[in-house]
Structure 1
Amino acid sequence: MSGLRERILAYAREKYGTEAEYLWSRDPDSAVLRCGINDKWYAIAMRVDGKSLGLEKGVVYPIINVKCSPLMTGSLLAMKGILPAYHMQKEQWVTVLLDGSVDEEQVRGLIDMSYEIVSHTGSGKRMRTEPREWLIPAAPAMYDVEKDFCRDGTILWKQTANMIVGDTVYMYMAAPVSAVMYRCEATEVNIQYNYDDGSYRIRKAMKLKLMHRLAQGDMPLSEMKKLGVSAVRGARGVPNTLLHRLRQLEKGI
């Protein structure tokens, strides 16, 4: 991962509360940035062979796709380091090289533009009301989740995605546990929260109610990989294969 890419993902996290989502086990380096207002993608960071971009074959380029107004596409494509969208609709998206061809401040501006467009997309439509399932990471070395759950069965947790009340949240405990350990239900969301210790920041929180505990050996990372999840770096949806197995485990199957 290039230094510029790291800084751009950090910018999105700090300004919009967006945690990069790594959705594809076959392409673990590709990261999606999702608008918390309506759950839509506003950027996709990838590494792509130059051949697919009309550039030098065999050279891998760090890129980010951002959304833009169709009226601006032509003007943007005239700029150095901005190319027709890779794997996206080319009238409304462009690909931006993250190899230094485009100034970092300009990349941030394009991220802002994309977020602004996406955040207003479908704003007059009905927001999601049907619950969905999420998988979120937790670091045992940083926080004693079990202690809080034992206190009253609930926990206040950083919210980085468009959760609604009633969503199911599976909590993956990172190393040294490396396993899914808890199934929770979101009982409160979008709680305004102001915490910043210089290395960790929370702007929005959710309350999770513990619904079921799994044994450490029920769903370890080794088993998750077989079911399509090789890493949990941020809040992400639960693949149907993994969800089906988790439900079986809860039933004792």
Structure 2
Amino acid sequence: MKTLREDVLRYAKGKYKTEPEHLWRRFPHYAVLRHEDNRKWYGLIMDIPRENLGLHGEGRVDILNVKLADTAYADMLIHQNGYFKGYHISRGNWVSVLLDGTVPMKDIQSLLAESYTVTSKKYRKPKERPSKEWLVPANPKHYDVIHAFDNKAEIDWKQGRGIIAGDTVYLYATAPVSAILFKCSVTKTDIPFDYAEKGLTITALMKIKLLKRYKPDEFPFALLKGEYGIYAVRGPRGIPHSLSEMLK
């Protein structure tokens, strides 16, 4: 079975001069990555039974535990394919990442870099988190998303949990369109709104400004699933680094 374990260890050694530590006789394949100065962990590679993560099949799978700065971002990731709440490190913003290729190595490197920074001796938690990119579903049955920006460049939209002003939103039109149609910047959030009808409930709005349009055949669901591992867009979610680069 494919594993990125050695790729991660080589990257940590080359980038951060880290030699893995094997601390437990019972678990010889567990590898701790830690800072030289404060001895804090910024990564932990483990091999665990697939069933412990609710995965199908038998045998064990390698995972990497990393710590993130933002709770909302950590919560968002664990709802994506290949990510889980920190395995045996549930406190704080630890997440577990599959090392079986589900999550690309580029994304793992970015997460490892953030974890290294967050656990460093000089780290001070910023008052505001950096901007993030989101994939947000838009149901044509509830809103004419195809023509949303025909008459104006900025519109009100249902606010997703964790989204703040300054973030980037990619509107994904669900079936029958099933494709990303717009790239938008979030200009304002937390606009009070009270709506509950036809199975849709909205308690707050955000303002989004159009930045770019995409044709329905540029980023259809089949491409998102086949190339970027996005199997569903049921709510606001982050996007892989590789997809982010293509959307730009």
Tell me the residue number matched to 2:112. none
Tell me the residue number matched to 2:181. 181
* 3-state DSSP of counterpart to 1:222: helix
**RMSD between superposed Cα atoms in Å:** 3.3
Q: For the residues of structure 1 that align with 2:146 and 2:177, how far apart are their CA atoms?
A: 13
Tell me the residue number matched to 1:83. none
Q: CA deviation at 1:126?
A: 3.3
Q: For the residues of structure 1 that align with 2:90 and 2:153, how far apart are their CA atoms?
A: 48
Q: For the residues of structure 2 that align with 1:200 and 1:139, how far apart are their CA atoms?
A: 10
* 3-state DSSP of counterpart to 1:131: coil
Deviation string, structure 1 residues 198-250 (Cα, Å, up to 9, x no partner): 62211111111111110111011111111121211110111111111112xxx
User: Higher helix fraction: Structure 1 or Structure 2?
Assistant: 1
Residue 201 to residue 215, structure 1, CA distance change in 2 (3 Å): same
Residue identity in the other structure for 2:140: P
Residue 246 to residue 41, structure 1, CA distance change in 2 (3 Å): closer
Tell me the residue number matched to 2:139. 139
Determine if contact 1:135/1:237 at 8 Å carries over to the other structure: yes
Q: What 5-or-longer segments of structure 2 have no aligned partner?
A: 1-53, 56-69, 93-123
* 3-state DSSP of counterpart to 2:189: strand
Residue 132 to residue 208, structure 1, CA distance change in 2 (3 Å): same
Deviation string, structure 1 residues 11-70 (Cα, Å, up to 9, x no partner): xxxxxxxxxxxxxxx97xxxxxxxxx951539x78xxxxxxxxxxxxxxxxxx98xxxxx
Q: CA deviation at 1:181?
A: 0.8
Q: What 5-or-longer segments of structure 1 have no aligned partner?
A: 1-25, 28-36, 46-63, 66-85, 93-123, 248-253
Alignment of 1:170-209 (within 5 A): 170-197=170-197, 199-209=199-209
Residue 87 to residue 175, structure 1, CA distance change in 2 (3 Å): same
Tell me the residue number matched to 2:9. none
Q: For the residues of structure 2 that align with 1:133 and 1:228, how far apart are their CA atoms?
A: 16
Determine if contact 1:228/1:241 at 8 Å carries over to the other structure: no
Q: For the residues of structure 1 that align with 2:185 and 2:91, how far apart are their CA atoms?
A: 40
Residue identity in the other structure for 2:237: R
Are 1:41 and 2:41 matched, yes or no? no
Q: CA deviation at 1:129?
A: 3.7
Q: Which has the higher contact order (CA 8 A, sep 6+)?
A: 1
Determine if contact 1:228/1:242 at 8 Å carries over to the other structure: no
* 3-state DSSP of counterpart to 1:237: coil
Q: TM-score if structure 2 supplies the norm length?
A: 0.51
Residue 90 to residue 200, structure 1, CA distance change in 2 (3 Å): closer
Determine if contact 1:129/1:164 at 8 Å carries over to the other structure: no
Q: For the residues of structure 2 that align with 1:163 and 1:175, how far apart are their CA atoms?
A: 24
Q: CA deviation at 1:91?
A: 7.3
Residue 200 to residue 91, structure 1, CA distance change in 2 (3 Å): closer
Tell me the residue number matched to 1:158. 158
Residue 91 to residue 129, structure 1, CA distance change in 2 (3 Å): closer
Tell me the residue number matched to 2:113. none
Q: For the residues of structure 2 that align with 1:132 and 1:205, how far apart are their CA atoms?
A: 18
Deviation string, structure 1 residues 147-190 (Cα, Å, up to 9, x no partner): 33112112211112222222110011111111111100101111
Determine if contact 2:146/2:181 at 8 Å carries over to the other structure: no
Q: For the residues of structure 2 that align with 1:38 and 1:214, how far apart are their CA atoms?
A: 31
Residue 146 to residue 177, structure 1, CA distance change in 2 (3 Å): closer
Residue identity in the other structure for 1:132: K
Q: CA deviation at 1:88?
A: 3.4
Tell me the residue number matched to 1:130. 130
Q: For the residues of structure 2 that align with 1:229 and 1:219, how far apart are their CA atoms?
A: 12
Q: How many residues align?
A: 146
Identity among equivalent positions (%) equals: 35
Deviation string, structure 1 residues 97-143 (Cα, Å, up to 9, x no partner): xxxxxxxxxxxxxxxxxxxxxxxxxxx95343421111000111221
Q: TM-score if structure 1 supplies the norm length?
A: 0.50
Residue identity in the other structure for 2:145: V
